[in-house]
Amino acid sequence: MKDHGLSQGEHAVKMKPYLEKCARREIKRKARRERIEEVQRQRTDLRQSSYKIALKRINPTDGHVELYYISYKEYLLTDVWDKLRKKILQRDGHRCVICNSNHHLHVHHRTYENCGAEDDNDLVTLCSSCHKTFHRIGILK
């Protein structure tokens, strides 16, 4: 290491802001990794057959409302999801909210906690590229 005429204490003082910046950057990286891991855990839970989404339907024989349970994959094939997906695409102008593309659009769950009873704010329109990026880095930019 070059001396530059600084004492060891002076060098430490000069390096402190740089080291603090590096520490903040590492904290942000760790938080980002944790967010990514949480999203991946949620997605894995949804894909497992043991995870079920509760939906309501009217029993045709007695007219009572009953709950029934389906997998996430089955849920994405329901009329309920199709109507909600179309509503969100309409709300977002059939464009990705990140890059404004109108090709290969997906309706992304910001959270999987309310699957089957999503609020409109739980969903956002993304193109396939931005959707992949989100699931890779864990944040929407």
28 is a domain residue: yes
The pLDDT of 34-43, averaged and rounded, is: 74
14 is a domain residue: yes
119 is a domain residue: yes
Higher-scoring residue by pLDDT: 11, 25: 25
pLDDT band, very low/low/confident/very high, at 121 (cuts 50, 70, 90): very high
pLDDT at residue number 28: 84
Place of tokens 């739980």: 122
Residue 84, pLDDT above cutoff 80? yes
43 is a domain residue: yes
CA 37 from chain centre, in angstroms, equals 11
3-state DSSP: the chain helix, strand, coil percent, rounded to 5?
50, 15, 35
Place of tokens 């999801």: 81
pLDDT band, very low/low/confident/very high, at 83 (cuts 50, 70, 90): very high
Q: Could you tell me whether strands 53-58 and 123-127 are parallel, antiparallel, or unpaired per DSSP bridges?
A: unpaired
Range of the domain at 67: 8-137
pLDDT band, very low/low/confident/very high, at 103 (cuts 50, 70, 90): very high
Structural domain total, the chain: 1
pLDDT at residue number 47: 59
50 is a domain residue: yes
Name the token pair of 49: 């057959």
Alpha-carbon gap, residue 115 to 74, rounded angstroms = 12
Name the token pair of 25: 């950057």
Alpha-carbon gap, residue 138 to 40, rounded angstroms = 9
Residue 94, pLDDT above cutoff 80? yes
94 is a domain residue: yes
CA-derived radius of gyration, the chain: 24
Find out whether 88 and 120 touch, Cβ atoms under 8 Å: yes
2 is a domain residue: no
pLDDT at residue number 44: 67
